[in-house]
Amino acid sequence: MSYPTPATSVKLVLLGEAAVGKSSLVLRFVSNDFQENKEPTIGAAFLTQKCTIGERTIKYEIWDTAGQERFASLAPMYYRNAQAAIVVYDITKPASFIKARHWVKELHEQAAKDITIALVGNKYDLVQDDDEGQGEREGVRKVSVEEGQNLAAEEGLLFYETSAKTSYNVNDVFIGIGNKIPEAASLASSPEQNNNEGRIDLSTNASSNGNRNLCSC
């Protein structure tokens, strides 16, 4: 399990209300898997995943935090040294969007100045129309795309709508973050090493999952 270490390590933290799908997004990203009833995260969970974006290999060191308000006091310990954060809400739960606003604000106030933040509206599959793939089911969506986009524009965030269930746009989030992170300590890796097992090559399969990328990048 030991890799040569050409990869840039990026410390990334996931924040967001309970049950919005933080752990599910990570599970999709790391193991390309989904569970209907994912157990709540207690405290936090640590995971890593390497991925290749173009020439670069990035190793994400992910802290997936617990969503319950009770655990909020621990959050600063996770985002303190983080270079990237994903703030997640559930597009069918308006309260989770309010919570996301709070997290964004807190990150801007407390976290590192140059932290890259992605705002992610998850559970897109719930609003998706079964038959077509085009159009949306009525009434299920509670947070509009515009609301998300506006917040992202105001605060200078990346923005995506995703589904951990169908894997729609999930990898794109991590590519987007990888692209935006300054190439600071990156050691160029030789191309042969890019497809080591345990890595996924995001640059090739990214577009195969989702077809409607809401992000500007």
Partner 1 sequence: MTKSSSSGSSGALSGTSDVFNALGGNLHNLKSSQITKVINSKYNGDPILLIRQLSLDLAKKERDLILQRQESFTREQKLYKLCNEFGNLSTLEIDHKLSHERHNHENINSSKVDDILSNLISSAINDNIDTGKKPGVSKTPSPESESSESHQKVLGVSLLRGSSQESIKPPTKKNWLRSLFSSSEDLPQTGSTLASAPKPNQKTTVAPVELVSFGRTPSTISLIDNEDANIDKYGFFTDKSNVRITRSSTISLPTTRQRRRSNTSPPDTNNAILIGNNGKAQYIDKLKQISKIHDSTNLKVERDWDNLMKAINLQSYKLDPSASDVIVQLGTFGINLIKLDGNDDIYNWFINLTHQYGIPQKYRRLLWMELSGANNIKINGVYQELNDSPVTCDEVQLNINQINLDLHRTLPFNYFFNNLLELKPGPNFYKLQRILYAFVKHCPEIGYVQGMNKVVGTLLLSVLDEEDIFWLLIALCNEILPRYNNLSFFNSISLIHKDNVILKQVYLDRFIPKLNQHLIKLGGLDIDFITMNWWLTLFIDLKFLDLDSWFKIFDNLLIMEVQEDTNDEMNDDDRSCKFISLTLAILKCLEPSLLALHDKESIYIYLSSDNNYHNDMKYTNVKFSDLTKHHLAISKKISSKELIQLRHKI
| Region of 3-11, 34-42, 148-156, 198-206 interacting with ligand GTP (CB under 6 A) | 34-42
Question: Tokens 């692209």, residue?
Answer: 179
Nearer to partner 1 (CB atom), residue 31 or residue 144 = 31
Q: Within positions 65 to 94, which residues make up the interface with partner 1, using CB under 8 A?
A: 66, 68, 70-71, 73-74, 77
Q: How far is the CB of 167 from ligand GTP (least distance, A)?
A: 9
Any contact of residue 126 with partner 1 (CB under 8 A)? no
Nearer to ligand GTP (CB atom), residue 39 or residue 114 = 39
| Binding partner of 92, given Mg ion, partner 1, ligand GTP, none, CB within 5-8 angstroms per partner class | none
- At residue 28's C-alpha, the angle toward residues 23 and 30, to 5°, is 90
| Region of 17-25, 116-124, 172-180, 205-213 interacting with partner 1 (CB under 8 A) | 17-25
Site residues (CB under 5 A) for Mg ion? 22-23, 41
Q: How far is the CB of 30 from ligand GTP (least distance, A)?
A: 12
Q: How far is the CB of 113 from Mg ion (least distance, A)?
A: 28
Any contact of residue 153 with partner 1 (CB under 8 A)? no
Q: Which residues contact 175 (CB under 8 A, 6 or more apart)?
A: 51, 53, 202, 203, 206
Q: If we measure between CA atoms, which residue out of 1, 12, 7 comes closest to residue 116?
A: 12
- The continuous run of DSSP H or E covering 129 comes out as none
CB-neighbour burial class of residue 187 (10 A; exposed 0-12, middle 13-18, buried 19+): exposed
CB-neighbour burial class of residue 30 (10 A; exposed 0-12, middle 13-18, buried 19+): middle
Any contact of residue 18 with ligand GTP (CB under 6 A)? yes
